[in-house]
Amino acid sequence: MATNPRLSKTLGALLGVHTGDSLGATLEFLPWAHIKSLHPTGLREIVGGGPFSWPAGSATDDTDLTRAVLLAYSDRKKNQNQKKEKADHHEKGDEFDVARAAADYSVDWFTGKWPGREMGSEPVDIGGATSVGLLNYQSTGNPKTSGAGQGSAGNGSLMRCIPTALFTSTPEKRIEESMAISTFTHNDVRCTVSCAAYNEIVAALVDGKTVQEAVDMGKQIAEALDCPAVATAIERGEGMSIQRIASKGPGKELPDRTSGYVLQSLTVAVAALLDPRGFEDVLVDVVRIGGDTDTNGAISGGLLGARDGADAIPERWLRDLQFRSEFVNVAMQILEGPTVVQG
């Protein structure tokens, strides 16, 4: 799909989110023991179904909201091009607010202005904090104050945050934008810092750092932002075996039904990243653990795609993904030109 390693990792990260989401959607909410009885070696095909009767390859809220953030970065690139044209004519433009744009696209999704939806229709699946945050944003118009509040620490912003890692080139801007894009729904510090740390891991992988170097950079961000809970979640992932848990059961390491808690999803994703096996085997085992399978699949899939590149994702998985072509085309449009967007 892409011969350039950096481009391959960028596309792999985006498509990894979509793949993990679509694979995991079939088994969402099921516990490990039930999944084992249905699929003794794991679900290895994207078949749709699940509690919301998804078509095979359909985006759930995980991929849909990743798309919302991706489109915000696409708009920023267009805005930068327009500003350059204005500069050539001695005109000045305003700074583009990527968090507000992501919130606006998320409201489009929320209200049905979305591919495959009817205007006014409600999302098939939506997390509680996401719903509260988007309702607040519709009311106030302020993405800095619309979040669901401290104590609401679900994984609904971590699942959508990866475009920031891919299209913002400096650590300072990545941290700022990661936290701002989380804040309009998930402003609990565990969520905002998880997004910043996760995106620094992704950016390091895309830059060609080793897996351990990337994980260490994520921990450094959590520590620099004074959030020991996120640093501890990453460390837990370093000591966890996805393969063992998927084969033997969660035991005491994870509850039988993995929850939507942001730190748990971050731990699982780091453990998946550190698993030396290939993309397919690791992602199948992440989903085998059970519980919040689509979101854990999406978050882990993003890291695995950034690690292994797009060509590591099985073509039989890619071919049915709802937004495959759009994700590739939009990413290519953002990256075209001599430099990556710097914020």
- Tens of pLDDT, residue by residue over 298-316, are 999 999 999 999 999 999 9
343 domain-assigned: no
150 domain-assigned: yes
CB-CB contact of 21 with 320 (8 Å): no
Tens digit of pLDDT for each residue in 63-84? Answer: 999 999 999 999 999 998 887 6
Tens digit of pLDDT for each residue in 94-147? Answer: 689 999 999 999 999 999 999 999 999 999 999 999 999 999 999 999 999 999
108 domain-assigned: yes
Q: Could you give the CA distance from residue 169 to residue 18 in angstroms, rounded to a whole number?
A: 23
Q: pLDDT class for 340, splitting at 50, 70, 90?
A: very low
Region label for 228, one of left (φ > 0), alpha (ψ between -120 and 50) or beta (otherwise): alpha
Burial, 312: exposed, middle or buried (Cβ in 10 Å; 0-12, 13-18, 19+)? middle
Fill in the DSSP letter of residue 48.
-
81 domain-assigned: yes
Q: What is the model's pLDDT at position 90?
A: 43
Residue that wins the pLDDT comparison between 87 and 182: 182
Q: Which residue has the tokens 């085998």?
A: 288
CB-CB contact of 135 with 151 (8 Å): no
Task: Tell me the percentage of the chain whose pLDDT exceeds 70.
Answer: 93
- CATH number of the domain that 167 lies in? 1.10.4080.10
Burial, 293: exposed, middle or buried (Cβ in 10 Å; 0-12, 13-18, 19+)? buried
> Distance of alpha carbon 291 from its chain centroid, rounded?
17
Smallest Cα–Cα separation from 281: which of 299, 300, 256, 263?
A: 300
Q: pLDDT class for 339, splitting at 50, 70, 90?
A: very low
269 domain-assigned: yes
Q: Which residues are annotated as a binding site for Mg(2+)?
A: 60-62, 292, 294-295
Q: Could you give the CA distance from residue 178 to residue 168 in angstroms, rounded to a whole number?
A: 10
Residue that wins the pLDDT comparison between 202 and 85: 202
**Which two three-digit tokens encode residue 30?**
């099921």
Q: Could you give the CA distance from residue 174 to residue 342 in angstroms, rounded to a whole number?
A: 9
Tens digit of pLDDT for each residue in 151-196? Answer: 999 999 999 999 999 999 999 999 999 999 999 999 999 999 999 9
Q: Could you give the CA distance from residue 139 to residue 149 in angstroms, rounded to a whole number?
A: 16
221 domain-assigned: yes
Domain hosting residue 21, numbered range = 5-335
Q: What is the model's pLDDT at position 45?
A: 98
Q: What is the model's pLDDT at position 257?
A: 64
Q: What is the model's pLDDT at position 89?
A: 44
Q: What is the model's pLDDT at position 256?
A: 66
Q: pLDDT class for 338, splitting at 50, 70, 90?
A: very low
Q: Which H or E element spans position 58?
A: none
Question: What values do phi and psi take at 31, rounded to 5?
Answer: -80, 165
Task: Give the total number of structural domains in the chain.
Answer: 1
Q: What is the model's pLDDT at position 253?
A: 83
Q: pLDDT class for 91, splitting at 50, 70, 90?
A: very low
Question: Helix, strand or coil for residue 155?
Answer: coil
Q: Which residues are annotated as a binding site?
A: 60-62, 292, 294-295
341 domain-assigned: no
340 domain-assigned: no
* Count, residues in the chain: 343
**Which two three-digit tokens encode residue 61?**
């809220």
Query: What one-character-per-residue DSSP string does 83-138 give?
Result: HHHHHHTT---PPP-HHHHHHHHHHHHHHT-STT--TTPPPSS--HHHHHHHHHHH
Q: Could you give the CA distance from residue 27 to residue 107 in angstroms, rounded to a whole number?
A: 27
pLDDT at residue 264 tops 90: yes
Q: What is the model's pLDDT at position 341?
A: 32
Q: What is the model's pLDDT at position 106?
A: 98
